[in-house]
Chains A and B, each alone.
Chain A
Amino acid sequence: MQLLEKEDIQGLIVRGYSNFPEASFVLCGITNPAKAKKYFARLAERITPASQKPDKRAIHIAFSNEGIKLLNLSSSAYATFSRQFKEGMTEKNRQLVLGDIEYNAPEHWEWGGTRSEQIHFILMIYAKDKTVLNLVMEGEKNNFDQTGIKEIKTLDSFALPEQKEHFGFRDGISQPNIEELGKDNNAPEWNVLPSGEFILGYKNVYDQYPESPFVSRNEDPENLLPASTLYDKKKDLGRNGSYLIFRQLSQDVHAFWKYLMENSNEKDDPTEAAICLGAKMVGRWPDGTPLIKSPDEPNDKFTTDNQFGYWKEDFHGLKCPVGSHIRRSNPRDWLLTEKTHEESMQMIRKHRILRRGRAYGLPMTDTLDPEKIMKAENDTEARGLHFICFSGDIIRQFEFIQNAWIRFPKFGGLYDDSDPLIGTHYQKNGIKTDAFTVPAEPVRRRYKNLPEFTTLRGGGYFFFPGIRALRYLASLPNPS
């Protein structure tokens, strides 16, 4: 088994900091690269490595493609980053691949979009409480002016009660297990993946080292970087790093429950019926119970259950609809295009991501109880999810999931359904993506004209360097 260099890996890759309910993501621009690099060099000492389990705060950093360019990395080294990272999330073709069109198109974004100020790096701060968070934030921001850094926007975030997201459903239950961390002996085989899927410089699911950015030996005179595992005479800039994908998704909680209440009638009680339809869209009951384990009602025994598949248990989606959010984002062992559940698993294992998302904005109600949310008045609070994930190969993992499973209206033999929660819902030129089909006996129920329950507010691809790589980037000579 490969040994992880945890002291060089930024800790966010291996832990989601569930002990730190508060977090802020500071989106920054670099106004003076020479000064900024001095800041990064000092920051490298404060970055929380994976080898530590902090109890007060954690700090992390990730760079956008434009940010990397400003650090004066040679063009030949920059060229070794992944094409998707270099093109950026807002590139025209990427928009189609990701389904970032219509109301989700980058021209409408509040940050990171085609009409927004360029983000060069993102500072991610996690803390055990608001006081610590404010202290750390103050400490960092005080440096900004003198260090050629400009704060463009700060995205706050905090953990919602019972690990829920704003619609009122328990979130973050299903995560792949990194083989080398060996945390969960009960994890099903399909859910255990080699570290190279998420951390550059290690072998991935194909038993190959993933493509990783590198520099030539003479570009690393201080010998800060490890040797490349892929190329002779090259130093690995990517090792112990990853690609971080950030997407800010605002959630229209009122519209979500309003639609459910107005369109669900599978049960006599309208509230129950709305929750039932909501559960069908999510694939779990609000408390986290998977529909596969308990299709008719929530069950306390299964609220964090992740030990299930679809092929044998629910081929036709009678318990958990084929188009439900959890079934699309991780089909586990079921792909209608495959002939067996083993073949489906083989395919799906190649397309996983490590999620580190956090909610933002005040919840509509304190407890996030769906019944109370339904009764609550609509408000103007901005709320949603900062979707954050790691992926060793953006196109094979994140983009594949977003493109082939979330966006594609034909997923699983469907016709006009994209993901009911995070898909872009529209009708144009004969293409429809705003339906949701609930397989049932004797016949299915089809819900049409789904409004946009979530809207993209910003996003970007970032390079999440190893700590040595951060020191290297900070040490790059300034242009004369």
Chain B
Amino acid sequence: MTTTHNGLAISARIKEGHHEALIKTLSQINDQGAAHNEIYSFGDSKTTHFATLAILPEERTLSGKSLPSRFLFLTSYTGDRKKHVRELAENNPEGLAEIFKHCEGFPSTITPGSIYRYMRKYTTINTFYTGFQYVTYEDVGKEYELREAIENYLDEACNEPGFKNKSALEIRKSIQDVVKSDPGLSWSTKPYKRSLRSYLKLLGPLYILGVILGVSLICCVLVFFWANVFTWIGTMIFLSFVGILVVPLVLLRINESRPFESVAKPTDKRIYDIVSREKYPIKNEMTVAGPLKRGWIRPVFLFIILRLVWFVRAFAYIPTVHTARWFQVDGGKRIVFIAYFDNTSEAYAHDFVDSDKRIRNLNLIFGNGHGFPPTKWAVIGGGRDREKYITAVRAQQKITNVWYYTHCHVGILNINNNRAIRKGLWGDMSENEARQWLLLF
């Protein structure tokens, strides 16, 4: 089984005249709770970490083109995508039908199979980031319990005479004994091992791309000394790659010289409507979506950037984020960003603009969105204008109709710390390594 953490994004147009009915259905789910309700209970899923159901309103691009009202069904899950979608469909096909029946293209026959095919058909590519990789829904809970059990043992052990004088390895051994003696923790007595399949699923495409680029670069050099069909093909591949990056960048730079078109500042009431929904003490969600800046190069450039980010997503880092994703809808003319993060959106929004490095990364993607402060060469400027950035985030933020989360009391740093505890529980360790491991508690 793979444990790669991925995002499922289903995007479908809402049928004419069904907008209000869909809002009503989603409100019912929200009011009763996304985990368990009379329509569709995400709590029945064993593969889902988070879910968002949101309606994007009808909007217009800056050139006046209409962007239709759209329904987004998004989940973050671990494992195989097909299995995840099948699980969602089989858990309650009628419930999903109750939601998707308001969307275009929905089949008339409701079976797990038809729902499954519909969801697959309307799945859109998304660039997905996660703050915790290879950790399943079940792992989050179990590893939290493991850490709690060890903490409780340490609370007692600290008061035992002579405990402080024990070596780190001796203490680790005593922890191992406690874990072994607890039948409820027997699952953790096997050393943790990530599957090669999961690893390759996450990083395989990057390695393949790296090999292709590396070989083509070598060909590019070799062609001067040893020109043949292979070195020429390699050279063409390399030059194509450079072209894909450089040409759009130059075109974007030309586009960037257009006058900045600001976005209307949201009213206090609008901001209040959004932030007053952030009532969860540990983690919250935000949906930001809006049209791109003027010019055909914007959707093209963003498309390329999102694909590149997808390749290197395993190396990205956004503090306090559980998961985040970006994707384009409506022929690339509208960008959607969904994130689940620790604490509130105000604190989270600052994670981006308070760090010079992250401003550059932020600019690459968000710099294309309408209202985001102007950039130069895609990365310069932009989010450095904090006022405009915050205004744009709030102006483009949408009210999420439904969102679902698991393990309400576990923060992102907790998840990764619990995994590190589990990983270090078994196997050989030096005294110094054991000392470092004990600092995780």
Q: Which residues of A contact B (CB under 8 A)?
A: 79, 83, 86-87, 92-93, 96-97, 206, 208, 211, 265, 316, 335-339, 343, 346-347, 350-351, 395-396, 399-400, 403-404, 408-410, 412-413, 415, 429-432, 439, 441-446, 448
For A97, the chain B residues whose CB sits under 8 A away are 344, 346
Are A316 and B355 in contact (CB-based, < 8 A)? no
For B319, the chain A residues whose CB sits under 8 A away are 335, 337-338
Are B272 and A346 in contact (CB-based, < 8 A)? no
For B409, the chain A residues whose CB sits under 8 A away are 430-432
Are B347 and A93 in contact (CB-based, < 8 A)? no
Partner of B271, one of A83, A442, A444: A83
- A265-B159, A439-B439 in contact; A396/B357 too (CB < 8 A)? no
Are A400 and B154 in contact (CB-based, < 8 A)? no
Closest partner residue, chain A, to B267 (CB atom) = A79
Closest partner residue, chain A, to B418 (CB atom) = A415
Closest partner residue, chain A, to B131 (CB atom) = A337
Are B154 and A443 in contact (CB-based, < 8 A)? yes
Give the interface segment out of B59-67, B221-229, B275-283, B290-298: B275-283
Q: A211-B387, A430-B409, A441-B435 are in contact. List 17 more A-B contacts (CB 8 A).
A: A93-B272, A93-B275, A97-B344, A208-B387, A337-B351, A347-B355, A395-B346, A403-B344, A413-B414, A415-B414, A431-B282, A439-B439, A442-B164, A442-B166, A442-B171, A443-B438, A446-B155
Closest partner residue, chain A, to B147 (CB atom) = A415
Closest partner residue, chain B, to A338 (CB atom) = B319
Given the complex of chains A and B, what is the CA–CA distance between A446 and B438 in angstroms?
Answer: 13
Q: Does B313 contact A (CB under 8 A)?
A: no
Are A430 and B408 in contact (CB-based, < 8 A)? yes
CB distance from A277 to the nearest CB of B (A): 13
Q: Does B260 contact A (CB under 8 A)?
A: no
Are B413 and A336 in contact (CB-based, < 8 A)? yes
Partner of B355, one of A83, A338, A400, A448: A338
CB<8 Å pairs between A and B, sample of 29: A83-B272, A87-B268, A93-B272, A93-B278, A96-B278, A97-B346, A208-B385, A208-B387, A335-B319, A337-B413, A346-B356, A347-B350, A347-B355, A400-B347, A400-B350, A403-B346, A404-B343, A408-B343, A410-B412, A410-B413, A431-B281, A431-B408, A439-B439, A442-B166, A442-B167, A442-B438, A443-B157, A444-B154, A446-B155
For A403, the chain B residues whose CB sits under 8 A away are 343-344, 346-347
Closest partner residue, chain B, to A441 (CB atom) = B435
Closest partner residue, chain A, to B280 (CB atom) = A96
Q: Does B158 contact A (CB under 8 A)?
A: yes
Given the complex of chains A and B, what is the CA–CA distance between A347 and B352 in angstroms?
Answer: 10
Q: Does B151 contact A (CB under 8 A)?
A: yes
For B411, the chain A residues whose CB sits under 8 A away are 410, 415
Given the complex of chains A and B, what is the CA–CA distance between A408 and B354 in angstroms?
Answer: 19
Closest partner residue, chain B, to A86 (CB atom) = B268
- A403-B344, A410-B413 in contact; A350/B320 too (CB < 8 A)? no
For A431, the chain B residues whose CB sits under 8 A away are 281-282, 408-409
CB distance from B361 to the nearest CB of A (A): 13
For A338, the chain B residues whose CB sits under 8 A away are 319, 355
For B171, the chain A residues whose CB sits under 8 A away are 442-443
Closest partner residue, chain A, to B318 (CB atom) = A337
For B159, the chain A residues whose CB sits under 8 A away are 265
Given the complex of chains A and B, what is the CA–CA distance between A157 and B159 in angstroms?
Answer: 42
Given the complex of chains A and B, what is the CA–CA distance between A49 and B424 in angstroms?
Answer: 61
Closest partner residue, chain B, to A415 (CB atom) = B414
Given the complex of chains A and B, what is the CA–CA distance between A96 and B277 in angstroms?
Answer: 11
**Contact residues of B between 323 and 365, Cβ < 8 Å to A:** 342-344, 346-347, 350-351, 354-357
Are A206 and B386 in contact (CB-based, < 8 A)? yes
Given the complex of chains A and B, what is the CA–CA distance between A344 and B199 in angstroms?
Answer: 31
Q: Which of A92, A413, A442, A448 has the most CB of B within 10 A?
A: A442
Render B391-428 as a binary contact track against A, CB cut-off 8 A, 1 for contact: 00000000000000000110111100100000000000
Are A413 and B344 in contact (CB-based, < 8 A)? no
Q: Which residues of B contact A (CB under 8 A)?
A: 151, 154-155, 157-159, 164, 166-168, 171, 268, 271-272, 275-276, 278-279, 281-282, 317, 319-320, 342-344, 346-347, 350-351, 354-357, 384-387, 408-409, 411-414, 417, 435, 438-439, 441
Partner of B282, one of A93, A265, A337, A410: A410
Given the complex of chains A and B, what is the CA–CA distance between A430 and B385 in angstroms?
Answer: 39
Closest partner residue, chain A, to B168 (CB atom) = A442
Given the complex of chains A and B, what is the CA–CA distance between A83 and B408 in angstroms?
Answer: 29
CB distance from A118 to the nearest CB of B (A): 20
Given the complex of chains A and B, what is the CA–CA distance between A265 and B164 in angstroms?
Answer: 12
CB distance from B82 to the nearest CB of A (A): 33
Given the complex of chains A and B, what is the CA–CA distance between A331 and B262 in angstroms?
Answer: 35
Given the complex of chains A and B, what is the CA–CA distance between A439 and B435 in angstroms?
Answer: 12
Given the complex of chains A and B, what is the CA–CA distance between A445 and B155 in angstroms?
Answer: 7
Are B414 and A410 in contact (CB-based, < 8 A)? yes
Q: Which of B155, B168, B276, B281 has the most CB of A within 10 A?
A: B281
For A443, the chain B residues whose CB sits under 8 A away are 154, 157-158, 171, 438, 441
- A208-B386, A443-B154 in contact; A343/B281 too (CB < 8 A)? no
Given the complex of chains A and B, what is the CA–CA distance between A446 and B148 in angstroms?
Answer: 12
For A412, the chain B residues whose CB sits under 8 A away are 413
Closest partner residue, chain B, to A336 (CB atom) = B413
Given the complex of chains A and B, what is the CA–CA distance between A172 and B112 in angstroms?
Answer: 65
CB distance from A393 to the nearest CB of B (A): 10
A-B interface, 6 closest residue pairs, ranked by CB to CB distance from nearest: A337-B319, A410-B411, A413-B413, A404-B347, A93-B276, A430-B409
Closest partner residue, chain B, to A400 (CB atom) = B347
Given the complex of chains A and B, what is the CA–CA distance between A399 and B159 in angstroms?
Answer: 39
For A404, the chain B residues whose CB sits under 8 A away are 343-344, 347
Given the complex of chains A and B, what is the CA–CA distance between A396 and B351 in angstroms?
Answer: 12
Given the complex of chains A and B, what is the CA–CA distance between A445 and B356 in angstroms?
Answer: 37
CB distance from A349 to the nearest CB of B (A): 8
CB distance from B430 to the nearest CB of A (A): 14
Are B151 and A446 in contact (CB-based, < 8 A)? yes
Given the complex of chains A and B, what is the CA–CA distance between A396 and B157 in angstroms?
Answer: 42
For A336, the chain B residues whose CB sits under 8 A away are 413
Are B272 and A87 in contact (CB-based, < 8 A)? yes
CB distance from B289 to the nearest CB of A (A): 23
Given the complex of chains A and B, what is the CA–CA distance between A86 and B279 in angstroms?
Answer: 20
Given the complex of chains A and B, what is the CA–CA distance between A429 and B282 in angstroms?
Answer: 12
Given the complex of chains A and B, what is the CA–CA distance between A413 and B421 in angstroms?
Answer: 13
Are A96 and B166 in contact (CB-based, < 8 A)? no
Are A339 and B346 in contact (CB-based, < 8 A)? no
- A347-B354, A347-B355, A410-B413 in contact; A399/B272 too (CB < 8 A)? no
